[in-house]
Amino acid sequence: MTRHKLSAAASTSQERPLPAIVKRWILRIMVPLKGYRQLLTFHGFSDDALAEAIGLGEWLDPAIMDLDAEKILSELKALAHSEEKGKAPALPSSLQRNINKLATLAGLSRTDCSILAFAVMIENHELLESAADLLERVSTSELCRILSHLLEIPESEIRHSLQPQGLLARSGLLTVDRSGAAPFSRKFDLLSQSFADTIFSADAEPVYLLRDVLVPASPAKLQWQDYAHVVDLMSILQSYMANAVPRKLQGVNILIHGLPGTGKSQLARVLAQHLNRDLFEVAFADESGDPINGDRRLRAYRAAQCFFANRDVLLVFDEAEDVLDGSSLFSEKRTQSSKAWINRTLEDNPVPAIWLSNAVDCVDDAVIRRFDMVIELPIPSRNYRNRIVKTMCGEILSENEIAQLSLCSDLSPAIVENAISVASIACNNETGLNSAQIIRSVLNGTLTAQGHRPIADEPPSYLPDVYDPTLINCETDLLALCRNLKICKSARLCLTGSPGTGKTAYAKWLARELDQPIIVKKASDLLGMFVGQTEQNIAAAFSEAKKEGAVLVIDEVDSMLQDRRSVTASWEVSMVNELLTQLESFDGVFIASTNLMGHLDQAALRRFDLKLHFDFLTPEQSEKLLERYCHALKLANPTPASLISVRTIANLTPGDFMTVARRHRFLPIKSPMAFVDALHAESGIKGGVSRSIGFIH
């Protein structure tokens, strides 16, 4: 055998002597467990630093060209024998104290403590790890045998301690890789990356030991009254938690779900504040900023349940779909084990827990039923959105600007808070924008990225000053209809007719006359990408209208009320059924508009109290609208020639007049006849024909 030169690692090991207990473990690995077979190679030592640390340093002299393997082995055995004759070395005092604390909190056995201490030491001492890995790849069974020898504990006790149902695993402190053979050191998986370091601290508290997986929650920014849009559920939640928590009932678990940004995390903080309890959140990322996967977050949760069992705290597990969602095709093993654990432990966890999720569609029913309460947190109603925006932006935005933002039904507290934060930093002379403009731009960027419509420049209820329901060509007396609706306050109306004939405009006018807000949804706003999502969106729209006391309008309803006799997909039938079900239970004013009356489901048509057909303008209506728009645009009074000309356009709609009027903003119209010429052009695009002048009828 020839030898290598003395390595830098060996030099370092001379400066830092091994703890006595580590040296004993290494020598047991070398001799009884025959690790020397990998340490002594044909070319010398496989690890000079390791050889130096265990007392074979004289063989590292570069002057020694040939190593006597038999002599080295004999010397190594003598070192091991001498070590075993000495007094049993102790663990570092700080490590021993903290493991004793954990033992008290989690109820760990002496065997549990010994195994945990060894796993911590192998994580902190590179030479111990190197020595253990000389044993090459080991199975779980071999791991138990090796630990039994190293720790002088019966193998049966080791196996019992390391079983999946053991306290080490259930507490999340230490798990063992059972997937197959692996290097010895890789078989252990401690709670977190920092756990092996922090457990050496002189006076480590449980929170400190868990600092990269469990963090104290920030103070709440909202208040209890900000959740008045779910007042009934909040009242029940408050009463339940106020009685259950002081009594230290086991298995107290609340599931709160809803779209991102609806205030779920804030609600957990508000509740903890209301109950005068500290709140700790299972972290998404460790101290290095790296994401923490669902399995490790579950382990952190288990550890927190053990550590905080006798403390007055609440736990919150945000993004709970990481562990509750069983839909992934690629995580069957994980989800099954997670579900099994949840089904077993949600019923007796000592620390009350609040679970937050963006979606619960894929959560198993058996898991859901184990929660004491399941609360859906919707986006607040317009009134409450107005109050929240005012609370957050009252010093920045005017009343009109606040009201405009509040009209957006997709506006959540979280994105408002973010927009305000950006505006507070970016609002300066360099941008050329004021706070209101910055907030609006940031909000629109977020809303668009989430798949929502941006905040409209005009509110949904906007109508031009020239609007007049008498200038809509409909057989029904629209003014009389409005008077009657003011009395009965409930109706289901279906408005049909070509685009631009004034269906949506009449709905806005009607809502204004009824002194009710209006919610306008296009069919595309409600159609979802996933199974069941459309039905949820439909239900949410009706729910919002009920809460707001609003007139609900669904435009292009033919996309959602297709004749069920002609559809082929089950989701299409389900969509129609959901809309009809919601329609039956809605006692406000509902308006559906469509350009394709013949495509609607016959059963759906029977649900409408009144079907109103909006037709093209009559010649008289066209003439009056021309006069009104000329006045509004400050043009001259229409000439007789322009009035005659506008009466000849057969397929003219109020929408055509609005289109030409909008064009006037950037391409000014200079005369009434120029306005009529533009109307003729719009009519021609639609393929319209002119009426015969003759005797005007």
pLDDT number for residue 340: 65
- List the structure tokens of 435: 């706070």
- List the structure tokens of 464: 């031009």
Round to whole Å and give the CA distance between 69 and 55.
15
Kindly tell me if the per-residue pLDDT of 384 is higher than 80: no
269 in Cβ contact with 220 (< 8 Å): yes
pLDDT number for residue 337: 53
Residues of the chain with pLDDT > 90, as a percent, come to 40
Provide CB contacts within 8 A for 309, sequence distance 6+.
105, 350, 351
Query: What DSSP letter does each residue of 391-424 carry, written as one string?
Result: HHHTTTS-HHHHHHHHT-TT--HHHHHHHHHHHH
pLDDT number for residue 690: 62
pLDDT number for residue 4: 46
pLDDT number for residue 333: 45
C-beta atoms surrounding 7 within 10 Å: 17
How much is the average pLDDT of 610-639?
95
Provide CB contacts within 8 A for 62, sequence distance 6+.
3, 5, 6
Separation in Å, CA 491 to CA 68, 486, 522, 643:
102, 11, 20, 38
455 in Cβ contact with 593 (< 8 Å): no
Pick the residue with more confidence: 252 or 261? 252
Q: SS3 of 155, please? A: helix
Kindly tell me if the per-residue pLDDT of 628 is higher than 80: yes
The vertex-49 CA angle with 47 and 55, nearest 5°, equals 105
Round to whole Å and give the CA distance between 184 and 149.
14
Highest mean pLDDT among 44-58, 155-169, 356-370: 155-169
Q: SS3 of 190, please? A: strand
pLDDT number for residue 287: 67
Separation in Å, CA 495 to CA 247, 588, 594:
58, 16, 6
Round to whole Å and give the CA distance between 301 and 308.
10
Give residue 4's Cα distance to chain centre.
56
Query: Residue 695 burial (CB < 10 Å; 0-12/13-18/19+)?
Result: exposed
Residues 566-594: tens digit of each pLDDT: 555 666 778 888 888 899 899 999 999 98
Kindly tell me if the per-residue pLDDT of 502 is higher than 70: yes
Identity of residue 70? E
C-beta atoms surrounding 377 within 10 Å: 21
Residue 432 pLDDT class (50, 70, 90 cuts): low
Pick the residue with more confidence: 26 or 565? 26
Residues 195-226: tens digit of each pLDDT: 888 888 877 777 777 777 888 998 988 888 87
How much is the average pLDDT of 637-650?
94
Query: Residue 380 burial (CB < 10 Å; 0-12/13-18/19+)?
Result: buried
Query: Residue 299 burial (CB < 10 Å; 0-12/13-18/19+)?
Result: buried
How much is the average pLDDT of 507-511?
94
pLDDT number for residue 681: 92
Of 44-48, 213-217, 392-396, least confident by mean pLDDT is: 392-396
Pick the residue with more confidence: 39 or 433? 39
Round to whole Å and give the CA distance between 657 and 649.
12
Kindly tell me if the per-residue pLDDT of 15 is higher than 60: no
Residues 408-430: tens digit of each pLDDT: 777 777 788 888 888 878 866 56
Pick the residue with more confidence: 647 or 399? 647
